[in-house]
Every structure is written in structure tokens, then in C-alpha cells.
Amino acid sequence: MELPRFIPIFPLPNVVLFPEVPLPLHVFEPRYRTMVRDALAGSRLIGVVLLRDGWESEYHAAPEVYRVGCVGKMVETTPLPDGKFNIVLAGLREFEIVSEQRERLYRQASVTWRAQSEEAPLPADLRAALVRIIERYTGRFGDDDTGRVLGDAALSDRTLVNFFASWLDLSPIEKQCLVEEEGGEARARRLREILEFRLYASQGGEFDLGSRRMH
């Protein structure tokens, strides 16, 4: 699919979208309801970006966002009687914002797209290590669904990494760090690193995530 160089962007305070992962959203603000209607009449694409800390004081203007986000295509749209929408975005590809334009009620950006090519499979030892750390991390909650997903031999490396990067209870900044990683192997290694840090912290070890390079 050929992607446009100019897209609407949807800044959110606690959501990071990943390729191949669905994202349900309730759209209620007038400016973003307009964005949804415009996207429906066009490419159906919306770029999701994470708001930086301090966004609350200028939320209704244009608070600063992280420059790397992920575009999603609206695959489900439910108009509601009050003009709001429930939508589902299917994550497609990561982008980096080059510049913004404010000609509409909502924000739009010129972007460059992260390269997408046929990636080599993850090294077998890396995938095995990642599966083990996810099992350990989620095992604290007795989650049987995780085991079924991890045991699916048909699950590609890319889908495995992106699904758990999105689904696990990580902080928004941790997820932002993951979406900024270029290449499946780099993202897999960072995900393993984050989970190892979190497990270490849960066992009473000293843990200062802020001291690590996270963006």
C-alpha cells in the first residue's frame, strides 16, 4: 500500500499504536470528529502520536508530541447519535513527523515513513528468550490467554513483538521507546530489556527507569 506524505494526526496522552495491532477509540471532541469524517471521505488513515509530559496546560492548542508515531487505517467506524464515533484503527506503519500544518481544526503533518522490507526472522535464541520473559512477566497474573498466544507457531516474529509491546501493561513512555526502535530485532531486544528491568524491580532490586536511555 502506498502511503501519503501528509496525514491527520491524533495526539493522545497514554496510547501508542503499533503495526498489525488494532486500536479501538472513542472520538468525542469536535475537532477529532471532523478528522474522522474527513478521513472517511479520503484515505481512512489517521496517525497516532503520544503527547509529551506537560500537555495538560495547552491541550486545546497544540501541545508538544513525540515525533515518531504509527498510522492506522479505520477498519470499523460506528457513528453515534450525538455526532461522536467509535472507531477501530488497524496499525500499519511507523512514521516520523517532519512538519505540521494547522489549516484544519485538527492537526496534520508531513511525515516520512519508516522503511518496510522483508525482515529476517529473529535469532532463535532471542525469540525463545523473549517468550520466556513474557511468560514470567504475565505469569504473575495467572493469564492463560498469554500462553495460548505465545504457543501459536503461526505467529510471526513481527506480530509477536508488536502485539506484546502494545498489550502488556507498560507505561506510555516505555511503549514510545519501543515504537521508536527501527527493525524487529531491535524492538524485540528492547522489549526483553524493559521486562527484565520490571521483573527485577518487582523482586526488590533497585530500579531507576529514568536513568536508562528510553528515547
Residue listed under C-alpha cell 491524533: 10
CA distance 53 to 109: 20
Mean pLDDT for 197-211 is 64
List beta partners, residue 101. Answer: 108
The whole-number pLDDT of residue 196 equals 95
Minimum mean pLDDT range among 53-57, 100-104, 110-114, 164-168: 53-57
Cα dihedral across residues 96, 49, 74, 182: positive or negative: positive
* DSSP single-letter state for residue 4: P
The whole-number pLDDT of residue 142 equals 52
pLDDT tens, position by position, 154-186: 889 999 999 999 999 999 999 999 999 998 999
Q: For each of the domains in the chain, give its residue range(s) and CATH number, in order of start.
A: 6-113 (2.30.130.40), 124-206 (no CATH)
CA distance 18 to 78: 22
The whole-number pLDDT of residue 117 equals 65
pLDDT tens, position by position, 116-154: 766 778 999 999 999 999 999 988 655 667 777 787 778
pTM: 0.87
The whole-number pLDDT of residue 205 equals 53
